Each structure stands twice: as C-alpha cells, then as structure tokens.
Amino acid sequence: MIRARLGMDQQGAPLATPCGDQSSARLASLQGADLLLEVDAATTELPAGAAVMAQLLRLPVL
C-alpha cells in the first residue's frame, strides 16, 4: 500500500500523488493521505498515468 493524496490533473481526471516517506515508521504521511494505493510489495515505481486500485480514506475538498 502506498499512502497518497487525491487531486485532479489538468483535464479534471483523478490523480494520486504519494505522500512523502512511505516507511512504516513514518505515520505522519498517513495524516495527510486521502488514499491507500494497492500495489505489489515488489513494485518500486509506476509509470505516470498507470491505473491502480485504491482505497479511499477520506474525500478531500478539491
């Protein structure tokens, strides 16, 4: 799982941006997260525009 913020791209499509340090000891990044992105544990990077499943933690005001 990757903690991320939810926003919109220039066309108004949803856009997820990772929240800082993702280590398990850094819970501060969870405080600002809107989503948990579901990725394989072995994944080290995703190409821009990649589609992933996400669990919504809260709906941000956009």
Tens of pLDDT, residue by residue over 16-31, are 998 877 776 666 667 7
- Characterize the bridge pairing of strands 53-56 and 35-38: antiparallel
pTM of the model: 0.74
List pLDDT tens digits, range 34-43. Answer: 999 999 988 8
Indicate whether 49 pLDDT > 80.
yes
